């Protein structure tokens, strides 16, 4: 089974569209799945809308009242997921749901343990992004090159084998759960080209604080990555 985790904050209009879309794609691909909505107590009725959808589809809704933040919301989803493969995607229809089978198959066929949707491989792209947003995305990606060999490390669209997650301690700050999972698991990764669509409804929550948290998170990941390398060398060097 595939568990599709959708973190939400103020996405009532989008959740109504994305949930049926995900199930349509899974059904077409002959895949069994569930959706897990992790909502941070949105004031716009996102959770209520998701609960209505749960009457018609296998949807579970988890509302967090004492915690906020995208990465920890996804971690909650990991905990609740019942599937052998977990997909993480945004609620705002930016991530192409029709790519889910393409994301899941390499893991099912044991070619890798993680797939990441990438805007920056051949066949990928972004719909009409302003230059400022392109620059932020590109420079954020470049800064992460030292910890992960990903063309699009700030992507939020991924699929991952649940068994790999179960063996790993995750401790992300802020938003970038994909980068956290890739670095901390050290698992085999493949990239899948995606075209990132513009959000039409609701508002982006990406702000300066999120950018600052990203830098803090990256510093921790660099420390994690290179500390473990040094510790490894130290041990090997001993007689
Ligand atoms: N649960 C939860 N979801 C969030 C939070 N912040 C953003 N999201 C969700 O994460 C996804 C990406 O957020 P979005 O604002 O579209 O970011 P952008 O695409 O970078 O502009 C969307 O599904 C949001 O609803 C949060 O604090 N908690
Ligand atoms: Mg978005």
- Contact residues for 177 (Cβ-Cβ < 8 A; gap 6+): 70, 71, 74, 75, 88, 156, 170
Task: Give start and end residues of each alpha helix (H) in 81-207.
Answer: 100-108, 131-143, 162-166, 177-185
For 14-26, the pLDDT digits (tens) are: 999 999 999 999 9
In whole angstroms, give the CA distance from residue 173 to residue 154.
13
For 125-175, the pLDDT digits (tens) are: 988 888 888 888 889 889 999 999 999 999 999 999 999 999 999 998 888
* Residue 190 φ then ψ, to 5°: -125, 150
Pocket probe for ligand 1: among 62, 80, 88, 90, the residue whose CB has the most ligand atoms within 8 Å is: 90
Residue 148 belongs to a domain with what CATH number? Answer: 3.90.550.10
In whole angstroms, give the CA distance from residue 97 to residue 102.
10
Ligand 1, atom 16, residue with closest C-alpha: 204
Does ligand 1 come within 6 angstroms of the Cβ of 40? yes
In this prediction, residue 46 has a pLDDT band, given cuts at 50, 70 and 90, of very high
Total domains present in the chain: 1
Domain that holds residue 167: 2-237
Neighbours of ion ligand 2 (CB under 5 A): 92, 94, 199
* Residue 132 vs residues 135, 137, 139, 206: alpha-carbon distances, Å: 5, 9, 11, 13
Ligand 1, atom 21, residue with closest C-alpha: 204
Q: Is the pLDDT of residue 236 over 60?
A: no
Q: Which residue has the higher pLDDT, 207 or 36?
A: 36
How many angstroms does the Cα of residue 103 sit away from the middle of ligand 1? 21
Q: Is the pLDDT of residue 234 over 90?
A: no
pLDDT of residue 232: 64
Does ligand 1 come within 6 angstroms of the Cβ of 191? no
Between 119-123, 180-184, 208-212, the lowest mean confidence (pLDDT) is in 208-212
Q: What is the pTM of this model?
A: 0.93
């Amino acid at each position: 089974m595939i568990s599709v985790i959708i973190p939400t904050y103020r996405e009532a209009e989008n959740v109504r569209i994305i949930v049926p879309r995900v199930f349509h794609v899974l059904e077409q691909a002959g895949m069994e799945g569930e959706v897990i909505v992790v909502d941070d107590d949105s004031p716009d009725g996102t959770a209520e809308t998701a609960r209505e959808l749960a009457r018609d589809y296998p949807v579970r809704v988890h509302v967090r009242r004492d915690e906020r933040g995208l990465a920890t919301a996804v971690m909650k989803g990991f905990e609740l997921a019942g599937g052998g493969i977990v997909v993480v995607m945004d609620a705002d229809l930016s991530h192409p749901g029709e790519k889910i089978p393409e994301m899941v198959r390499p893991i099912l066929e044991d070619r890798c343990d993680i797939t990441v949707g990438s805007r920056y491989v051949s066949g990928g792209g972004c719909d009409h992004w302003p230059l400022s947003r392109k620059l932020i995305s590109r420079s954020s990606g470049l800064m992460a090159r030292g910890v992960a060999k990903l063309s699009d490390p700030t992507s939020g669209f991924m699929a991952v084998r649940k068994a790999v997650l179960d063996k790993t301690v995750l401790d992300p700050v802020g938003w970038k759960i994909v980068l956290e999972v890739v670095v901390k698991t050290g698992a085999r990764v493949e990239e899948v080209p995606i075209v990132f669509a513009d959000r039409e409804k609701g508002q982006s929550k990406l702000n300066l604080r999120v950018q600052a948290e990203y830098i803090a998170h990256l510093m921790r990941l660099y420390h994690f990555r290179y500390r473990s390398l040094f510790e490894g060398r130290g041990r090997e060097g001993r007689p």
